[in-house]
Structure 1
Amino acid sequence: MVTQDKQVIAEYGNRQVNVFVMTLQEYLDTFWKMILPSITDLVYSITASLEARTRDKDYVGYLPSDVIEAGLKTGHYTQGFLNVNKSNASQEAFVRRRRQDRREDSESDILVHGMSSRNRAVHGDLVVVELLPRSQWRGRSNIIREGGTDTKESGEDDSGEAISVMPTGRIVAISQRAWREYVATFSQDEETGLKGGKVLVIPWDYRIPKIRISTRQVEALRDHRIVVRIDSWDSDSQYPNGHFVRALGRIGELETEVAAIIIENNIQMSTFSDAQMKELPVDTEEEPWAVGEEEVLRRRDLRNSHLVFSIDPKGCEDVDDTLSVRTLDNGNTELGVHIADVTHFVKPGTLTDQEGKSRSTTVYLADRRYDMLPGILSANLCSLISGVDRYAVSVIWELDSSYKPVHVWYGKTIIRSSYKLFYEIAQAMSDGMSTDDIVKNVPELQCQPKRDIKQKVTELRAAVCRLMEVARHLKARRVRGGALELESTEVQIQLTETKSVEDLTPKEHLEVHETIAECMIFANHWVAKKIAEAFPNSALLRHHPLPREDKFENLLTCASAKNYKVHTDSSKALAESLNRCDDPNDPVVNKLLRSLATMAMSNAAYFSTGALPRDQYFHYGLALDLYTHFTSPIRRYADIVVHRQLMAAVSKSTDTIDLPSNKDLEELSEHINHQHRASQNAQRDSQELFQYLFFKGRNPDDECCTVDAVIYQLRANGIFVLVPRYGMKGPVYLKNKEGQVAYVQARGQLEWTGGNITRTDHTMTVHTMFGIQSYILLDHITVKITLNNSWAHSSSVRLELVDNQPHLSTSADSLMKEQKAAIIKEVSEAAEEKKGHRSSVDLGENFEELKKEYGQSSTTNNMYDLFQSFKEMSLKC
């Protein structure tokens, strides 16, 4: 069916007449809908049936661009990005309507069901969708599936219970392809896919279809991960065509799997070029870097007037924020936040600036990181380490007795941080740690004359305590305004072992962590106010939109299972009601509910003030009307842009030629948002990889493999649980692929037998010949962590039911902190040992055989020795 503009002018004889052109759908809706309401659905059903008969193997062509353009204008078609469901990749994909495409009655995503309706679109493509008639709308499947189960190829029926019917459509055009490099693997079956010199490779990402490539390296690279690209996808082909790019390494090796994560998240992290490094200052023993006298005169000098210090987690190398607090002569409090002045070294348009913009963020993986800026800046000249002079951009407030700002100053400063503190020691100071113990844990104090130590400790302790007091008042004011305190249950693995104050738990140093966070939020808010005032149409802010009400369904259902009432009509109501969801006998309940609230949130994003109406600038989660990112320019490019805008806002000069326009800032915001999401996804994938490798080396009967879990969602064939000990979420199946259901005969004795499952809002009940067992939301059960090995995709851990009762043993839980910290160390050491063992074997007694295998001569007549001879001759000359 073709859509044209509703009215055109045509010549008829010697005069012009109005000619109305409409599609079949418009004709039926206009003239037949009132007479025979079902006529539209009938025609569409017949059409879809006929199309389905001809689409068993082939896809249909895309509509012409002029037709698509006209349909988008009239609202007949919708444009958005395709998001394939990783857990049901062959059947379910969704298109999120773009803002300008959303209509009053269409605020939800559009479901695209089946590969035929997807019509050769690939995850991430910008597509054009035509809505199907309501009689063909479907619901999202409520069945828990193994990742990416291909029901089309396996012959499984997709008749599982649907959650609810939602708008459903089919793709009629591709506006923009998102094709990129994909990690893939050859099938383990030697004969599978070979046809006419072509071979099908299986992408690492379940959401990407198999790709047909031509290569003669199948046998050599059968056990390797490779990189491929898609070139085309013909309408008469079931799979896209592509080509081989390169090999990554053997499947299962740590470096191979990390490389796969980086490529799959489209993160480009090559080494910094020589040209970029030549732009940066030199800092060597022979030529140390020092502050410039002229630059000092242009800055406010805080080196002798302010006690500046940093508080960071252990192992932190890039210290980009420091703090100061003191009492003024008038009794008011002065609070200072001092941020590394990265923009002094990174000028707009330079190679370093372009590279930082391209990367947009430092990427943190479980065992490594990829810096946004070269190390000379991130770990040295821009790192506000103690005892050295550093350039900073500062925000300094004068606060009255109620801790309300009466004056604020923005500008460039020069500072010398006195102390580099860690969370544990700062909290211990506040809690009354003795002077001797403080000196033992603060290296900078050990260098002080003995006669001054007591005074220095007193000053530092007073500053830390005053800072925490200020932060408590700032946070209380923000919480009263509706700020949310949400839980993150991701496992944060420490990269360095705790060497002092070992007995402090994360809960005990939580207050000092919140103190630093609150000061940073305060600075970000006030900087946002300044740049939004100066550049009302081109300031870079951060927006956290209102969550969609339907996303709260799981939270509300879980809360009601414990008779809690959660109100979601505002952030303040949500925060207050979550505070009341407190079970003194089960502290995990409140943490889980806050985690579900986090899952319901929309994603925060950067935007240009000229791209949104003023009433949408707010940050929902923080309960602030204006917010931006200013405090981490070493690891976020957005902060660099904000620093430039802030300095332009406070400068007396009117020259803002280096600042981006609203249009440029819109494009930059979209790029930064994309890179930020990619970084988060890579971090999540990396943590899952290390969790898998950690448990891979464990005996299944190991104490740490059997753990307590809390039920937070019920599905048609199983439940979703949270494992508090590891911050791990995942499914637990109560029905297997054969249709049998799980019945616990005794602890650790699971029987798969005939029966059925019934479900209410809060309870899932298993009925078998042995009896009846129930699983209730927020109840505790016992699960075992096992391995879900995969040849082509990322391997992961799997949760299997052990008992429908809580885990009995709690002794292992005390080892949680040590085990978390040990995961990285154990996996990394094992990988290095394996690598070293292979190297010693391969390059030892078998070296001669290896040289033969790779075509090298065992005599001195080989290329290596030939080049060595040339090198020696050139040195002699």
Structure 2
Amino acid sequence: MVIENKAEVLDKDNRYLRLKNSQGKSVSIVREVYRRENIPCQSSLCLEDCNVGTDDFDLLPSNVTHYIIPDCQVAREYLEVFEAPEIHGIIFTQTAEHCIQYEGSKNHHNRLKRLVKDKTKGAVIFHNEFQKYAYCDRESGESHSDWQSRSTFKAAEWFFNHLAGQLPVVMVTNNDKVIEEYGSKIINVHVMKVEEYLQTFWKQANTALMDLYESLTASVQSKTKKKGYSGYLPTDVLEAGLKTGRYIQGHMNVNKSNASEEAFVRRKREESKEDSGSDILIHGMSSRNRAVHGDVVVVELLSRSEWKGRSNVIKETTESTSEPKLSKDDEESEDNGDIMPTGYVVGITQRNWREYVATFAEDEKTGQKGGKVLVIPWDYRIPKIRISTRQVEKLKDHRIIVRIDSWDIDSQYPNGHFIRSLGKIGELETEISAILIENSISVPPFSDAQMKELPIDTPEHPWKIEDVELKKRRDLRDSHLIFSIDPKGCEDVDDTLSVRHLKNGNIELGVHIADVTHFVKPGFLTDQEAKKRSTTVYLADRRYDMLPGILSANLCSLISGVDRYAVSVIWELDSKYEVVDVWYGKTIIRSQYKLFYELAQLVHDGASQTEIVDNVPELQDLSGEQLVTKIDELILAVNQLMTIARHLKRKRVRGGALELESVEVQVQLSETKSVEDLTPKDHMEIHDTIAECMIFANHWVAKKIAETFSQCALLRHHPLPRDHQFGNLKSCAEVKGFSVDINSNKTLAESLDKCVDPGDSIVNKLLRTLATQAMSNAAYFSTGSLPNNQFFHYGLALDLYTHFTSPIRRYADVIVHRQLMAAVEAADKLEIPGNKELSELSDHINQKHRASQYAQRDSQELFQCLYFKGKDSNDDCCIVDAVIFQLRNNGVYVFIPRYGIKGPVYLRSKDGQVIHVQPQAEPEWTGGTIQRTDHSIIVNNMYGSQTYTLLDHITVRISLKDSRAHSLSVRLELLYNTPHISVSQQDEMAKKQKAAIIKEVSEAAEESRLAIVSHDLGANFDKLKEEYGQTSTKHSLYHMFESFKETALKTS
């Protein structure tokens, strides 16, 4: 059929397709297809202006030697080759995209979409099936694969002619028949194999491409020899079983501490009436059925008689921890806990394979070129992977990156391929790169194209406030005392504060946040990169910014003494600190002071004028009355701010807000990045002050955007915790006679406030830490995706919450800024994503946020290990006090307050011996037994019994546990079953004891002397002593101060 259109003639056709839906079920559909002449070619070499009016113009570069078009099979099986940074000018046909979408995996299709979106690659999808002259109908009797090959060549031919032969076009295929048929058909339209293409165009540029090709080829060949998934139930059977409830679907998470035996599938809350049954145990590798950590699996429950319990023993992680054990020799033992729902994997609905960091075994050898070898993944939860590579000898001491391609039903290990080397094992940059790869974090340098979008700020061309912005923003530079309070050395200052008294007697509180959205426009390259990263990644020794430095550390950073754009929330508060009015809008500010936390706390606590001036550069050029006035204003502002924050916090706490605990340890690095010390961060009230003001702003912004965009506001939800997660907290509290009520956040908060042991300050901190661990994770969501009664934030006790205050380092805040401005300025609401788009974006941001947190944790643990590396295990820094917080059948888990480290301590060894500790001597391992109760472990041997109870203090030794294949970790060994007293504490106690002895001897001598005098003077002694005697040393101020000096007590 031909349809006449004012612009052009459209050819209408019906296309019959058999596709798979999102659940993998095959369905037949009919689609109307309209073909026309002016489909954009997306090349800057176009002579016919077919790109005019499209957003895709200039995606294909002109500065390449050729354009490359992979056929469907090559695009599906060798996509990773085209992801290499060297290769540009890639044309994927619509036919190839459909092949990947419907014949490949979802992850594979997503990778293709990401590659095309990356404008630095110069890759496009050409809609050849809509182009009138590039399309070819499938002929009668023609196979589908033959039609795909002919369509690809037709597209290559069309491109060459369309661009008038300005560039050669290379079609890449591994099909000999296609090469024979089309190879010499048109001059400069080349048809060649992948290997020939790489050797012809890229042999000199990068030999790693050939290695990657060979590895992928070996993986493809192994897949064609065997069938990989025949052991899983058919898709329609899985679908039917999920509907009836026979099967359960969920993400599979492998237990890192017991990787070869335990994995868990968490079902959704609505699928489980009993909270304790939310997890399904997958016991052993055979029940896991080739599923890998992170895969979405379908599980069938075993009969109750076959259910097992979670392991109650500490398993030591070794190089062979994740070694698959296919035999069913797993017997129920006394070391397993209460039985729980147990199942086995019957199908996999989504593979979540990614890039894995791995290492060759120390004794690994390969006897031939491209031979198959097993590599050990960095992550204990991933099984060994079989790859093909020629570089074993060259890379045996390197960490490498590999991908999994398949896992055959009769293979003990999955098949994969080598990608590239990260560097030598143990080198700092290699280990940091491993952490980033393992957490799927990509932080390439910002591109030239991205930098060209940004403003210039140089001494020759300084950036200035624009007149047009001055007219439409509220100017706070002269009317408000604005200042920031951040950690020392902070460069990306997101937030500033102001507080002042109004003429009507009320107080005005202002939170002023960097206006990132002024510089980062929706859809621009900088915005796309910020969205991709979603967050700034903070590691122990460095950070990877979400935004380029010209923004994050300069034009967006609210540093003191310069004019900056801001988005402000300003409240008017009455005398009871209740909100009278609130204003949202864009402002211009000039922060007067850039304070750090310790200084702000000192200002509040009454620091001297000299101390303040020495630490505030902005005051150092002032003197006299002007200096005194400025200091008084600053002190008043800080004090007023802290008073307001106390009220805001009290109000939240009364509503059920939780004050939880997390131990933060600061890594002290030298100039050469060696670790000098690990110091716990001191908590100060000023930390709570800033946090409370930010929470207040986030809450009020959430109210505004939720009111305006009821179906597509970006909020943050903290769900109710699962009851069974509180078991460890309750057990520890019971030991001290405390009761923890978890019925609501309010009762939990009140319970924790009462859990105070006057003789042990660690108890309350540890219990709050355990409460933190019991919490569910907070997450971003779109208001159209949850019912209104699920919008709440459990931990903060707020009905609505979002993130607004950190747009320099969180992309969620950038979205919220745009929504807020659309709400208050009636801005173009077309820029606001709808519910579906926002929900997908929320999932992406949540994933990136978690990845950043995990990377930060991994980095912290790496530098903790580097601190202990090379240290004598008997050094004072390695012998520490530890508190027991969890029991196992063969040991305990402890918390070390000094370093914030948690880990296992063994009481029973692998060979069944138990430990016996003794004063002033090394522990001894002997024959014996272990008896476990609800709150204690009793070790019995020939010397007697020793008991270890929850919240007991013990002494442990820290040493380094080295590993070739995995990350460094610390080993904790029991030394004494008593609290540890450090050398400095011993010196302090010795001084006190010495002073006490001296005092006791002196008082005894004085009493003896007085007894003699009393005997000589007789009855007149008491009267004469009262009239002429010296003041007793017990009451003398002189002797009191002398005792302070002698015992080295601190009087402040």
Q: TM-score range by the shorter chain?
A: 0.7 to 0.9
Give 2:254's match in structure 1, choosing from 81, 84, 92.
84
3-state secondary structure, aligned to 2:742? coil
Residues 428-484 of structure 1, C-alpha deviation per residue, up to 9 Å, x if partnerless? 111111112211110000123544101000001100000000000010001111111
Q: Does 1:139 align with 2:313?
A: no
Residue from 444, 453, 459 that aligns with 2:618: 444
C-alpha displacement of 1:812: 6.9
The answer to whether the Cα contact below 8 Å between 1:630 and 1:639 also exists between their aligned partners in 2 is yes
User: Residue 703 of structure 1 aligns to a residue in which SS?
Assistant: coil
Aligned equivalent of 1:483: 657
Offset from partner CA, 1:201-236 (integer Å, 9 cap, x none): 000001111000111111111111111111111112
Q: Where does residue 399 of structure 1 map in the other structure?
A: 573
The 1:411–1:718 alpha-carbon spacing in structure 2 relative to 1, beyond 3 Å, is same
Structure 1 unaligned blocks of 5 or more:
1-56, 498-504, 816-877
- Mapped partners of 1:775, 1:528: distance in 2: 48
Structure 1 CA distance for aligned equivalents of residues 378 and 322 of structure 2:
14
Counterpart in the other structure of 1:325: 499
Is 1:769 the counterpart of 2:942 in the alignment? yes
2:590 is equivalent to residue 416 of structure 1: yes
Instruction: Please say if 1:295 is aligned against 2:469.
Output: yes
Give 1:737's aligned amino acid.
K
Larger Rg: 2
Match of residue 28 from structure 1: none
Residues in 2 aligned to 1:747 and 1:254: alpha-carbon distance in whole angstroms: 38
Once the two structures are TM-superposed, the CA of residue 163 in structure 1 deviates from its matched residue by: 2.1
In 2, distance between residues paired with 1:174 and 1:154?
Answer: 19
- Cross-structure match for 2:168: none
TM-aligned CA distance change 1:674 to 1:507, over 3 Å: closer
> Are 1:803 and 2:973 matched, yes or no?
no
Corresponding residue of 1:7: none
For 1:374 and 1:151, locate their aligned partners in 2 and report how far apart those are by CA, in whole Å.
43
Please state if 1:336 is matched with 2:510.
yes
Shift of 1:298: 0.8
**Structure 1 position 788, deviation (Å):** 1.1
Q: State the 1:152 CA deviation.
A: 5.2
Counterpart for residue 781 of structure 1? 954
Q: Give the AA of the match of 2:468.
A: E
SS at structure 1 position matched to 2:477: coil
Matched residue of 1:219: which SS?
helix
Structure 2 distance, partners of 1:154, 1:712, is: 35
Query: Which residue matches 2:390?
Result: 216
Distance 1:415 1:217, change over 3 A: same
Matching residue's letter, 1:600: A
In 2, distance between residues paired with 1:358 and 1:105?
35
Letter in 2 for 1:807: H
Contact 1:689 1:795 in 2 (8 A): yes
Q: Does 1:736 align with 2:906?
A: no
Instruction: Name 2:854's counterpart in structure 1.
Output: 681
Give unpaired runs (5+ residues) of structure 2: 1-226, 672-678, 989-1052
C-alpha deviations, 1:228-268, integer Å up to 9, x for none?
A: 11111111211111111111111111111111101001101
Which residue of the partner structure matches residue 773 of structure 2?
599
Q: Which residue of 2 aligns with 1:109?
A: 279
Task: Say whether 1:703 aligns with 2:888.
Answer: no
Change (3 A) 1:624 1:813: farther
Contact 2:481 2:498 in 1 (8 A): yes
C-alpha deviation, 1:147, in angstroms? 2.4
Indicate the residue corresponding to 1:714 in structure 2.
887
1:106 Cα deviation (Å)? 7.8
Deviation at 1:98, TM superposition (A): 3.6
Q: Distance in 2 between matches of 1:95 and 1:719?
A: 26
Aligned equivalents of 1:657 and 1:143: distance in 2? Answer: 57
Aligned to 1:623: 797
SS in 2 for 1:801: strand
Code of the aligned partner of 2:661: E
How much does 1:193 deviate?
Answer: 11
CA 1:192–1:749 in structure 2 vs 1: closer, same or farther (change >3 Å)? farther
2:537 match: 363
Helix, strand or coil: the match of 1:409? Answer: strand
- Check 1:151–1:768 CA distance in 2 against 1; reply closer, same or farther (3 A cut): farther
Q: CA deviation at 1:808?
A: 2.2
Contact 1:141 1:160 in 2 (8 A): no
1:652 aligns with 2:826: yes
Deviation at 1:195, TM superposition (A): 12
Cα pair distance change 1:586/1:60, threshold 3 Å: farther
Aligned mates of 1:274, 1:626 — CA distance in 2 = 40
Cα distance 1:813–1:570, how it changes in 2: closer, same or farther (>3 A)? farther
Cα displacement string for residues 473-516 of structure 1 (whole angstroms, at most 9, x for unaligned residues): 0100011111111110242336799xxxxxxx988761111100
Query: Of 454, 459, 463, which residue of structure 1 is paired with 2:637?
Result: 463
Which of residues 248, 257, 266 is equivalent to 1:96?
A: 266
Classify the secondary structure of the residue corresponding to 1:492: strand
Q: What is the alpha-carbon distance in structure 2 between the residues aligned to residue 496 and residue 523 of structure 1?
A: 38
- Percentage identity across paired residues of the two chains: 71
- Residues 196/408 of structure 1: CA separation in 2 closer, same or farther (3 Å cut): closer
Aligned match of 1:63: 233
Give 1:826's aligned residue.
none
Deviations along 1:30-85, whole A, 9 cap, x unmatched?
A: xxxxxxxxxxxxxxxxxxxxxxxxxxx99861122222222222222221111110
Q: Normalising by structure 1, what TM-score? A: 0.83
Distance in 1 of aligned mates of 2:986 and 2:815:
45
Tell me how many residue pairs correspond in the alignment: 752
Alpha carbons of 1:220 and 1:341: their partners in 2 closer, same or farther (altered >3 Å)? Answer: same
| SS of residue paired to 2:394 | coil
The residue that corresponds to 1:123 in the other structure is 293
Distance 2:968 2:614 in 1: 45
**Deviation, structure 1 residue 814:** 12
Contact 2:254/2:263 (CA < 8 Å) preserved in 1? yes
- Could you say what the CA RMSD is over the residues aligned between the two structures, in angstroms? 2.3
1:692 paired residue among 850, 854, 865: 865
Tell me the alpha carbon deviations over residues 608-647 of structure 1, each in whole angstroms, 9 at most, x when there is no partner: 1111111111111111111110000000000001111111
Displacement of 1:132:
1.7
Q: CA deviation at 1:107?
A: 4.7
TM superposition shift of 1:154? 12
Greater shift in the superposed pair: 552-561 or 247-256: 247-256
Query: Given the alignment, which residue of 389, 410, 414 partners 2:563?
Result: 389
Judge conservation of contact 2:277–2:340 (CA < 8 Å) in 1. Answer: no
**Local SS of the residue matching 1:657:** helix
Paired position in structure 2 for 1:434 = 608
Give, in angstroms, the shift of residue 276 of structure 1.
0.8
Partner letter of residue 559 of structure 1?
Answer: A
Superposition deviation, residue 548 in structure 1:
0.6
Could you tell me which residue of structure 1 aligns to residue 732 of structure 2?
Answer: 558
Query: Do the aligned residues in 2 keep the contact of 1:80 with 1:97 (CA within 8 Å)?
Result: yes
Match of 2:249, as an amino acid?
Q
Give the Cα separation in 1 of the matches to 2:638 and 2:383: 56
CA contact (8 A) 2:645 2:692 kept: yes
Q: Aligned with 2:632: secondary structure?
A: helix
Check whether the contact 1:703–1:812 (CA below 8 A) recurs between aligned residues.
no
Per the alignment, residue 929 of structure 2 pairs with 756
Distance 1:629 1:696 in 2: 39
Contact 1:151-1:157 within 8 A present in 2 as well: no
Structure with more contact order per residue of length (Cα contacts < 8 Å, sep ≥ 6): 1
Q: 1:509 to 1:179 in 2, by over 3 A?
A: closer
Which of 816, 821, 830 is equivalent to 1:642? 816
Pair 1:274-2:415 in alignment? no
Shift of 1:197: 2.0
- Aligned residue for 1:236? 410
Q: 1:507 & 1:284 partners in 2: Cα distance? A: 37
